[in-house]
Amino acid sequence: MTPLETLIRTRIAVDGPIPVSEYMALALGHPDHGYYMNGSPFGADGDFITSPEISQVFGELIGLWAAVTWQQMGSPEKTVLIECGPGRGTLMTDLLRAAEDVPVFARTIEIHLVETSKTLRNIQAGTLSCINPVWHDSIETVPPGPTILIANEFIDALPIRQVTREHTGWSERCVGLTDDTLQFMPGSAYEDPAGTPIDAITGEVYEFRPAATAFVDELSARLATHPGAALIIDYGYERQSPGDTLQAVRDHQFADPLADPGEADLTAHVDFGALRSHGFNSGCHVFGPVNQAAFLRSLGIVQRMTALSENATPEQIETLYSSIQRLIDPGAMGTLFKAMVISHSGAPTPAGFEYHSTSSYRRND
C-alpha cells in the first residue's frame, strides 16, 4: 500500500467517501506523495511519452507558430511567453531553438513556466539553465503584457468532477471503501450541472472540469487587457457526452486508477467544447479545435520531415518517419489529439487554422 493510499483511507474513515476530483487532486498533487511531486514521469524511461519527447520537430513547429503569432500581434517589444506544464523543458528548448530563426522575436521573449512540482522545476532549471525562466503556481501571478501561452497536455491532468445518473437524479461520484478496497461509489445528491444531458441513462457518468474552465476564465481576463494567444493541445472531444474517461497510465500501460494512488498518472479527456464556450463568452476569439494531424500538417510537418531527411542516414530517416507518423497518424495521436487557440478580440486567424475557418468563433467587435 502506498503512503498516499494510507492517507486517503484515513480521510475516508473520518469523512466518508471523497469526490473523484479530490481523489485525483491528491493522487497527482499531494505535496509529499503526489505523482508529479516526486519524479520525472516523461519519456521512454518514465510512464508515458508526450509529443515533444517523440520528436523535436513538434516543438520546433510550435516555436515557428509562436513567431508568426507574435507578428500577428503587431511585433510587440516585450513578449510574455508562458508554458503550462513544461514537463522536462523539452518543448521549450525546441521552441526557442526554432524561434532563433526570427531573431527580433527571440529577443523580446520573457519566459514564465507554470509548474507546481518542485522536482520538475529542478529538472526544468537544468534543461533551461541558459535562459533563466521564472516559475509560477498559476498564470495569475505571471506579469502582464502581450502574451503567448502554450499548454500541451496540461488540461487533461487537471482534476475532473464526475456525477452519476441515478433513478432520482444525479449524485457525486466518489471514492470509498468496500471490503477494504478502494472503489467508486455514488455520494451525495448533486443538482444537474449546466449542460448535463437530461436524457442520460441510469448509471451513466458525466464529467466536467471546473479547474479547466477557471483557467480559461483567467486567461480570457488576461487577453482582455493585452494582445495575445493561447495554444492548447490535448486529447479529448469537441462535444461533451456521457462517459467515464478517467484513466491511469503506468510504465506505458493502462492501469487501475484506484490502484497505488500516487504511483501512476491520472488523466481524463478534455472537453474542448466547454473551453471554447468559456473563451467565447468571455469576449475572446476561439479557433478550433482541429485535430493534431491537420494542425501540424498546416504548419509544415511533412515538409520539415523531408528537409531533415536530405542529410540523414537510412536509420535516422526511419526513426524520423516513425516519430512523425506517430504524431499525425489517425490511429495514433493524429485524431484523438486536438489543437485550439484562444486569442484576444480582433485577432486574425492563427497559423495552422487557415483552412478551418468553420471551426472559429469570433466576437462581433
44-62 pLDDT per residue, tens: 555 668 899 999 999 999 9
pTM above 0.75, yes or no: yes
Q: What is the mean pLDDT of residues 101-110?
A: 96
pLDDT at 42: 59
**Nine-digit cell at 125?**
532549471
- Contact partners, residue 80, CB within 8 Å, separation at least 6: 110, 112, 142, 143, 144, 145, 146, 147, 148, 228
% of the chain at pLDDT higher than 70: 92
pLDDT at 361: 55
Sequence-ordered strand ranges (E) for the chain: 18-19, 79-84, 109-114, 134-136, 147-152, 161-166, 169-178, 181-190, 205-208, 228-237, 247-250, 253-255, 265-267, 270-271, 285-291, 337-343, 360-361
Q: What is the mean pLDDT of residues 185-205?
A: 77
More confident site: 339 or 241: 339
pLDDT digits 0-9 by tens, 250-278: 877 889 999 999 999 999 999 999 999 99
On whether the CB atoms of residues 115 and 121 are closer than 8 A, the answer is: yes
- Contact partners, residue 162, CB within 8 Å, separation at least 6: 19, 20, 21, 172, 173, 205, 206, 207, 244, 246
Whole-angstrom distance, CA of residue 99 vs CA of residue 109: 10
Whole-angstrom distance, CA of residue 326 vs CA of residue 207: 28
On whether the CB atoms of residues 212 and 21 are closer than 8 A, the answer is: no
Whole-angstrom distance, CA of residue 87 vs CA of residue 43: 10
More confident site: 41 or 67: 67
pLDDT digits 0-9 by tens, 138-159: 999 999 999 999 999 999 999 9
Whole-angstrom distance, CA of residue 192 vs CA of residue 325: 42
pLDDT at 365: 44
pLDDT at 194: 59
More confident site: 235 or 193: 235
Residue 364 pLDDT more than 50?
Answer: no
Residue 192 pLDDT more than 90?
Answer: no
Q: What is the mean pLDDT of residues 70-79?
A: 97
% of the chain at pLDDT higher than 90: 77
**Nine-digit cell at 315?**
536509420
pLDDT tier at 167, thresholds 50, 70, 90: confident
pLDDT at 91: 96
Residue 358 pLDDT more than 50?
Answer: no
pLDDT at 40: 58
Strand partners, 185: 174
